[in-house]
Structure formats: C-alpha cells, structure tokens
Amino acid sequence: MDASKKWKSRLLSSSIPLEFEAAKVLVDQNMSISYDYSFPRKEGADYKEFSCDLKGLGFVPLNNDDRVDAIIELLVECKYRDEGKGWVFLPELDLFDFSNQTLGYATRGITSFSKKIVSQKPIYDFEQIFSFSPKGVEVNFNNGDVFDKDIRHGILQLKYALPYLIRDAILENVYGHIDDAIPRFIVPILVTNADLYLINKEFSIESLKKCNEIEEIAEKVPYLLFYSDIGSDFTEHHKRIFKNFYDDVKGNTSLFEFENYQFQFKDRYGIYQSPIRECEELENSYRSILLSYYTHFIICSFDHFKTLVRQIFSSIEQSVYMKND
C-alpha cells in the first residue's frame, strides 16, 4: 500500500470514523452521547478497565423539553471491517416452542421500578421483524479467511457492560424521588460497516461447494438478533456487580411503593412484575433472569442504523403511551 494512503486505512480500522458516524445518528434522535463507556472486569486476580464505544441517552417523548416519561439508553459497539469482508450467520433451526428467541429480550425494559405500566405489545411487534441467529463468522471474500473473533469480542463488550447499566437504572429509581421514577429501556447494538448475510435454511455442505457467490446460499439482511448464551465467567461477573444488592435495597420505602403499585396488575394466576423479587433474583444471578437481560443483541449494518434507531424509539414511545387491555 502507498505510504500516503496507509494512515487512512489504519484510521478506518481503528473504528473511530465509524463511531463518529454512529454518534451523529444518535444525536439526530436528540440523544446525548458519551464515548468509551467504561466498566471494570475481572481477569484472573486483577480487575481491568474495558469500554463500549458509545452510550446514547434519550428521552420519551421526543422533541419535548417540558416532559419526560421514559429514558432510552443505547449501548453501541462499532466494528469497522475492510472492504471485501462480510459477516455470515446461521439461522436458528429450533421449533418455535423450543426457540431461544424471546420477544422483549432485546429491548430491556426496567419498568417495574416505577408507578407506571407500559404495554409490551409494540416492543414484541418490533422485535418480530428480526431474523434470529445463534452463531456467526466473518468471511474475507478476498483471501478466504474465516474467523469469529471480532463478532464475539463486540458482543462480549456489550454483554459485560450491561449489568452496570441495569444496576444503576434500578438504583436511580429506588433512591431517587419516587415521583421522578420512570421506565428505562436499554438496547445494546453491535454496528458494522460489513454486509450481513443470513444462511438459507436449505443450506448444505454440497450447496456450499457448488455455489460461486455468497448470495446463492445466503440472504443479505439489514440487521438481526444474535443469541449469546450465559457462561460461568459471566455469571461470576454478574454476582460481583450485584453482591448484597437485595439486602441493600429491601428496606427502601420506594421499593415497597413500586411493589404495591405493580401488585394491582397481577393476572388471574397472581403473577405480576415484582420489583422486590427482581432484586432478589439479580443478587442471586438466577439463570432465568440472566437469560432475560443478557442473551439477545442487535447486530446492524451501518447503512441501516438510522432506520433501526428510529424504529427503536417508535416502538418504545408506543409502549409507553399505549393503554393496556
């Protein structure tokens, strides 16, 4: 490569230009931006500082400085890939009843720690637009290299940062003035300039051998939902963050007010969104609550990032203002 062009290539590969372009999309939605959202993570005996590229903070309703009914946080990790690289994903093959995909798990709503009921239907409708994948790899169509390191790294950055955001969102409502407690929605997104491909369900080893182009065995998609299971290392990470969490908040008067308010909306089986139970489950890091908060991630091609962000805001606004049946 010409030396005069090398610096451009290196700067692009740093992902800083992609971060800036993504930040402009968030600002267009009236979000405030923080670069390099930092969080500690234990490696061996030591704690090291990690970070996600962007955190956007926005409010519902949009374009109304006199009213705030919900908070939206978008946690964004950016991965710039050289031209000729694509991300290729497997489709989920499980039958619907056994699918790992659960509607509402990508748009994490911290809603029971307030005296407001939101409708899940708009969020469910929104999340149904996504293809769902349990595994993906990066393919270099120029030299044939195939590996998954950068996809996994991006997802893990988002995953290990999320517990801090969820903890802080709950504590802000529990310890703040109860009249200021409002629902909060947290959505982690991995953004790349690479094309995204979802393998056809008719795919086979033989069809791969016979094809000449990726489009013969896969469909290009604008975005998808990616499933990342819960491992023992993440569980221990979560336990450290939520250590004594329930014990610290269980005597809080606001928490009991939230509990009594949510109890009014129990279903015929006596089930309701219990903030007290959620605090206990978070402290104990039960697998059920880890699955609900930390397994579904949006991966988006940058060309469609603006559309995605608008759809996220629209679905959450509808969720906040739609009356429940």
pLDDT on residue 159: 98
| pLDDT tens, position by position, 285-312 | 999 999 999 999 999 999 999 999 999 9
* pLDDT tens profile 214-265: 999 999 999 999 999 999 999 999 999 999 999 999 989 999 999 999 999 8
Tokens of 143: 């030299």
Strand duo 218-221 + 146-147: pairing = unpaired
Q: Print burial letters for 165-181: b (CB count within 10 Å at least 16), e (below 16).
A: bbbebbebbbeeeeeeb
Number of domains in the chain: 1
Question: Taking the model in full, what pTM does it have?
Answer: 0.94
In sequence order, which residues have a C-beta less than 8 Å from that of residue 274 and are 6 or more positions away?
Answer: 112, 259, 262, 263
d(CA 303, CA 9): 20
Domain extent, residue 218, equals 3-321
pLDDT at 96 over 70: no
As a whole number, the mean pLDDT across the chain is: 93
How far apart are alpha carbons 252 and 324 in whole angstroms? 28
Residue type for position 252: N
Among 26-40, 82-96, 101-115, 156-170, the least confident range: 82-96
Model confidence at 325: pLDDT above 50: no
Pick from 95-104, 114-123, 211-220: least confident: 95-104
